[in-house]
Amino acid sequence: MSNDFYTGMYNPDVLSCLANLSNDEVFTPPEIANRMLDMLPQDIFSDPNTTFLDPACKSGVFLREIAKRLITGLEPLIPDLQERIDHIFQKQLYGIAITELTSLLSRRSVYCSKYPNSIYSITNFNDPSGNIRFKKINHRWKDGKCVCCGASQSQYDRDETLETHAYEVIHTGKLEEIFKMKFDVIIGNPPYHLSDGGAGASAKPIYHIFIEQAKKMKPKYLSMIIPARWYSGGKGLDKFRDRMLRDNHLKIIHDYINASDCFPSVDIKGGVCYFLWDRDSSGDCTVVTHNGNKIISTMERPLLENGSDTFIRYNDAIQILKKIREREEKTFDLIVSARKPFGLATNFRDYVQKKDNIHNIQIFAQKDIGFLSNNQIEKNKDWIDKWKILVPEAIGAGNMAIDIVKPIISSPGSICAETYVVIGPVESEAIANNIVRYIETKFFHFLLGLKKITQHTTSKTYMFIPLQDFTKSWTDHELYEKYNLTNFETDFIESSVWPDGNVMNGDNND
C-alpha cells in the first residue's frame, strides 16, 4: 500500500467541495479542521494510546485529518504501514454520526469505503459500522417539546423512514456506555439548532448541549466550532454563556467576525468561533481575532472584564474602554428608559391619525405617527411635556452588527410606543440636539457595539458609553482628545465603524 494513499484518493478534495454547500448542518472544510487540530499539543499524534472522538460526524473530516497526523506520528513506533493503519482506525479513532447519510459519508471519508467490513476498506472491521456508529434515537416528548433538546414535536415527530434529528450524544444519559470507553480528545462541529415550533423560522440552539455533554465525558481536550452568538447569551444560552466565560480551562478562542471566512457559502449571523478546552490547565484565555484571511489581534486575557459579566469581543477595544472608565464618569444607561417607557406595547394601535381636542398627544408608533389622549398613557406622564430623544428598541438584524442608530427628537406633547426607548427627558431642545450629535459619532457607536450583540437593546446596552456635558455638541475628534486615545486606537474605532454607521461586530452582508 502506497504511503501517499490519501493524496491519491482525495484529489480534488471532495470535502472541500462539500464544505462550500449551504446546509443546516454545516460541513467543516479540511483547512478549518486542521486549524483546530493545530491547537492541540502535537505530541499526542505520536502516542499510540491517545483516543479521539467526533460526537457529531458529518463528513468525517476531523477523523480523516487526525488519521493523517497519526500515520506520520506513529511511524517510528509502528513501522509497518498496514499495521499502523489498523491500530489507528480500530483503536484510536471513533465517531458518532448525526444521520444515517452522514454515517455513510464519514465511513467513506475515513475508511475509503462506506462499509468498513468490505474488501474496499483500508482497514477491516467485523461489522459494517466500524468505529463510526449511527443509532436512530427517538425524541422524548413532553408538552409538545423534546425534554432533551427542545425540538418541536410538530416538526420532528416523523414517519419512521425520515430522520428524527434526535442526536445520540444529547439524548443519552450514560454517555460512557456509547463506546464503553473514555476519550482523550473530543473534537467536532455539532449541529447548531432545531426548529422549536415558534413563529416563522424560530429555532432553538443545541450546539451548547453537545459541549456540555462532551464535558461530562471528562476528556483531556475538547474543541468545537460553533456560532459566536453565545458570547451574548440569549435564547437558551444564558447559563451556558456564564459557565463558558467563567471556565478557566478555556485556553484558546479563535474568533471569526465573518462566518464566511470559515464556511464560504453559509450565512451564520454574528460569525463563528472554535475553542480549545484543556482539562488539566487553567488560567487566562488566548483570544485570536480573525477578519478575512488575516489574524488582526491576539491577546491572553480574562474572558470577563474586571470581574463583570461582560465579554469584550475585540482585544484592541479593551485598552480603549480602560482609558474611558478610568475617568469614572457616569454612564449613558442612566438616561435610557426601560422597555415600554409609556406603558404602550409595540402593537398598540388605539390612536387616530388626526389631532383633535381629546387626542392631542402625538405618538411615535411602530410604523407611523398618530395621536392619542392623556388617559391612554399608563406611566411617565410627567415626561409628556418635556424634550426627549427616541431611539429604536430593536437595532439592526440581530447579527452582532449594529446599524446606525437613528434618533428622533420628541418634542413636548409627544410620546412613543414600545418600538422605542426614551433618552432623557432633558431641559431644552438645544440639549436634545447635542445628545443627538453625540449619538451620531463613531465613538458612541463603537462603545454601543461592545455591548450590543443581539438585535434588541436595553438600557444596559449603553453602559460603556460615558455621559458628556451636553450644553455643548461633541465631535469624534474632541472625544478622542478627551480620552487621550492614540492614533492606533482612533484608527481602530474608525475602521471598526463602517462609513454607513455599521459597527464591525459581525457579518455585515445581510
Residue range of the domain that includes 356: 332-496
In the listed set 186, 211, 226, which residue is the last one of a domain according to the structure? Answer: 226
Q: What is the pLDDT of residue 449?
A: 85
pLDDT value, residue 199: 53
Judge if 222 and 337 occupy the same domain.
no
Statement to judge: residues 339 and 222 lie in one domain: no
- Residue 339, domain member (yes or no): yes
Any idea of the CA torsion for 387, 391, 393, 398, to the nearest 10 degrees? -170
For residue 305, being part of any structural domain is answered with no
pLDDT value of position 157: 86
CATH number for position 93: 3.40.50
Give the C-alpha separation, 314 to 91, whole Å. 41
Residue 237 lies in a domain: no
Whether 451 and 461 have beta carbons less than 8 Å apart is answered as: yes
Q: Enter the pTM of the model.
A: 0.80
Name residue 352's beta-bridge partners. Answer: 371
Characterize the bridge pairing of strands 132-133 and 141-142.
unpaired
Record the cell numbers describing residue 282, joined without a space. Answer: 487553567
Q: How many domains does the chain have?
A: 2
Rounded Cα–Cα distance for residues 25 and 97 (Å): 12
pLDDT value of position 13: 55
Tens-binned pLDDT, residue by residue, of the chain (510 aa): 444 444 444 344 556 545 544 345 688 999 999 999 999 999 999 999 999 999 999 999 999 999 999 999 999 999 999 999 999 999 999 999 998 888 999 999 999 998 899 999 999 999 999 999 998 888 999 998 888 888 888 888 887 777 788 889 888 877 777 888 899 999 999 999 887 665 555 678 999 999 999 999 999 999 999 999 898 877 788 899 999 999 999 999 999 988 999 998 888 888 999 999 999 999 999 999 998 889 989 999 999 876 567 888 889 899 999 999 999 999 999 999 998 999 999 999 999 999 999 999 999 998 789 999 999 999 999 999 999 999 998 776 554 455 688 899 999 999 999 999 999 999 999 999 999 999 999 999 999 988 876 667 888 889 999 999 999 999 999 999 999 999 999 999 998 886 544 444 443 333
